[in-house]
Amino acid sequence: MKQILTLLLATSCTFAASSQTKEKKPDYAKRLSGIEKELEKVLADQKVAGYSVAVVYKDKIIYSKGFGYRDLENKKPVTPNTLFAIGSSTKAFTAAILGQLQNDGKLKLDDLATTHLPKLTFKYDYMNTGITIRDMMCHRTGLSRFDYSWYLFNTPNRDSLIQRVKHMEPNVKLREKWQYNNFMFLAQGMIAEKITEKSWEENIRERFFVPLKMTHSNTDIFVTQKDADASLPYTVDEKFQIKKIPYYNINGMGPAGSINSCANDMGNWVSTWIMGGKFNGAEIIPGSFLREASSSQMVVSGGQPGKYSDIQFGNYGLGWFLKSYRGHYLVEHGGNIDGFSASVGFYPSDSIGIVVLTNQNGSSATGTVRNIISDKLFALEPIAWNADIKKALDEEQKKAKDAPKSVDTLQVKNTHPSHPLADYAGLYGNPAFSEFQITLKNDTLFTFIAGEKNWLKHYHYDVFEFMSVDTKDNAEESDDSHFLINFRTANDGKITSVSMDLDEPEKSTIFERQSIKVNLSDDVLSKYVGEYDLEGQTIKIYLKGTTLMLLVPGQPDYETVSVGNDTFDLAVAKGYSVKFTVEDGKSKAVTFIQPNGNFTAKRK
């Protein structure tokens, strides 16, 4: 009886407390009154062109406003409906599609990823038979970022992108360490495509944009550019000035980050998470998945507080980062893509959501604004977030101004390339990345990489520097701004590969020289067909379909690839090729070019 009485008393106390809490519910909208002056200051102090904000309480947007300009030159203001690229804040959308499919019985998050996407192959068997959808969703596959693979060698072809994964070397064991990897969210989007028989873009539109009334949102940067209320992308240049930059088309890697949206639309998205997965009473995100997604799945960083004692731990859920912000549980994900940054988050225990979207590249303003708003909403002693950032930026600017002109200690002066420039031209490839071609025009080497045409400026020895075609030859560069390419030679002196420092700082990425295939007609190929005498041996050249074949006695038939100028590479024997001597439209001899020398055979 005593136990029952205690329980009843506890229950009634709870009701009383609940009733008191309800009566004293904070007026969050009022707490934000007058915040504009402080938020406007962020624009000037952090050199931001513009940003928009939406604050949500439960199922209502209680504050939304634009600050600064979406088009700085023409002074077009940001509105709550201005479109910004949200970058990796897209990931929670992609993960939520799979959460829906799990709820429908179409998959389980602990299924092997390769079961649902046979096109996805990892380098080692233990990865193929061990990596689950959940592992990909919380970044614990053992693969590091490999971001240069998609960023420098972009393509809209998702099949082509996903095939690169099988060539990516893991740097830690499965589930040993949290390591961000965009390819793993591409894979999740492709799993959804395979199961639903709809594109990722269609899934996003039908499952979220339409039911959540996200009427201004899209997944295509070209659609955004045509919108009357779209923002232009900006960065802060080396002179600490706001500078407009080109849009970046991330459609191939769309599931990892191609959504473009506005503060008001994203307010509906975070409201759905706050309301247990429901929007206007209809379930959009299954509650069971929502709880998993916003709960810790993998440790990102240590849990000890740093500078501020009430900001603790750093974990990852399923498409969300998790931390404690001054005693309040925060579920958040940032986003960065050329010219844009985002912070999309919510405090589930407080039923508060905050969206900050900006047109500044790699901006700290999104976190600054979110924290300023959070301090106001929770009636906390404010931290000087913006002042701290401004102080750091001012110190950086002063240091750059006062610093003596930098001296490049790496470069060795007065050296020359070891080959004529024409020898460096060619096709280079790495299966975990892609291919790029270097061409020679007049006396300059050019290449097209990261969606931009570059010329190669000699740096020293056989090392060249990538320079934008818009960069002047005498442009000042800081010591760490060089993007270098190193041409490598074999023992015979021929250029066989190039190396670049990309994703893994401890080792360079090697791009092997590739054969540039030249398609020839049967009539052209027929002039090479025949038997040739090589010191008593009969070498046979014949056609197999449209492929020129080489038969050496006692060896397998070799398939050749035309690389132009009467020269053919052996498809399966790197470093081996044949060159025909042609007179009067017919081959008179063939020279075998191989590492141990050149050998000529005359036509019989």
DSSP label at residue 169: P
Torsion sign, CA atoms 447, 449, 453, 457: negative
Mean per-residue pLDDT, 547-563: 89
The winner for highest mean pLDDT among 85-89, 383-387, 487-491 is 85-89
The two tokens of residue 549 are 């074949």
Distance CA 287, CA 441 (A): 60
pLDDT at 473 over 50: no
pLDDT at 173 over 60: yes
The two tokens of residue 341 are 């940054």
At 477 the pLDDT is 41
Mean per-residue pLDDT, 511-527: 87
Question: Which of 102-116, 288-302, 445-459, 497-511 is predicted with the least confidence, judged by mean pLDDT?
Answer: 497-511
454: helix, coil or strand?
A: strand
Percent of the chain with pLDDT over 70: 93
Mean per-residue pLDDT, 22-36: 83
The winner for highest mean pLDDT among 231-235, 476-480, 589-593 is 231-235
Beta-strand ranges (E) seen in 461-536 are 463-468, 484-489, 495-500, 509-514, 530-534
> pLDDT band at residue 399, thresholds of 50, 70 and 90?
confident
The two tokens of residue 577 are 């090729």
> pLDDT band at residue 439, thresholds of 50, 70 and 90?
very high
> pLDDT band at residue 138, thresholds of 50, 70 and 90?
very high
At 11 the pLDDT is 30
pLDDT at 248 over 60: yes
pLDDT at 474 over 80: no
Contact 604, 538 (CB under 8 A): yes
At 522 the pLDDT is 86
Q: What is the separation, in whole angstroms, between the first and last Cα of the chain?
A: 112
- In the Cβ-directed half-sphere of 394, how many Cα atoms lie within 13 Å? 8
> pLDDT band at residue 410, thresholds of 50, 70 and 90?
confident
At 418 the pLDDT is 95
Q: What is the pTM of this model?
A: 0.84
Higher pLDDT pick, 12 / 253:
253
pLDDT at 549 over 80: yes
Distance CA 373, CA 330 (A): 13
At 478 the pLDDT is 40
Average pLDDT, the chain: 90
CA distances from 433 to 141, 150, 154, 211, 506 (A): 18, 7, 9, 38, 17
Kindly list the structural domains of the chain, giving each domain's residue range(s) and its CATH number in brackets, ordered by start.
26-399 (3.40.710.10), 421-472+481-514 (2.40.128.50), 522-603 (2.40.128.50)
Mean per-residue pLDDT, 165-175: 96
pLDDT at 480 over 60: no
90: region left, alpha or beta (phi > 0 left; psi from -120 to 50 alpha): alpha
Short-list 564, 438, 446, 565, CA closest to 495: 438
Percent of the chain with pLDDT over 90: 75
Would you list the DSSP string of 16-33?
HHHHHHHHT---HHHHTT
pLDDT at 506 over 80: no
> pLDDT band at residue 576, thresholds of 50, 70 and 90?
confident
Task: Report residue 476: phi and psi, to 5°.
Answer: -75, 135
Question: Which of 235-249, 258-272, 552-566 is predicted with the least confidence, judged by mean pLDDT?
Answer: 552-566
- In the Cβ-directed half-sphere of 64, how many Cα atoms lie within 13 Å? 20
Three-point CA angle 130, 135, 136, nearest 5°? 110
Kindly report, residue by residue over 307-335, the tens digit of the pLDDT: 888 888 999 999 999 999 999 999 999 99
DSSP label at residue 430: -
Mean per-residue pLDDT, 338-363: 97
At 19 the pLDDT is 37
Q: Is 341 exposed, middle or buried (0-12, 13-18, 19+ CB in 10 A)?
A: buried
At 499 the pLDDT is 95
pLDDT at 290 over 50: yes
At 481 the pLDDT is 59
Stated as kind and residue range, the H or E segment containing 414 is none
At 451 the pLDDT is 76
> pLDDT band at residue 482, thresholds of 50, 70 and 90?
confident
pLDDT at 574 over 90: no
Kindly report, residue by residue over 211-236, the tens digit of the pLDDT: 999 999 999 999 999 999 999 999 99
CA 447 to chain centre: 21
pLDDT at 414 over 70: yes
> pLDDT band at residue 471, thresholds of 50, 70 and 90?
low
Distance CA 35, CA 33 (A): 6
At 7 the pLDDT is 31
Task: Report residue 279: phi and psi, to 5°.
Answer: -135, 125
Question: Which of 127-136, 180-189, 408-417 is predicted with the least confidence, judged by mean pLDDT?
Answer: 408-417
Kindly report, residue by residue over 106-128, the tens digit of the pLDDT: 999 999 999 999 999 999 999 99
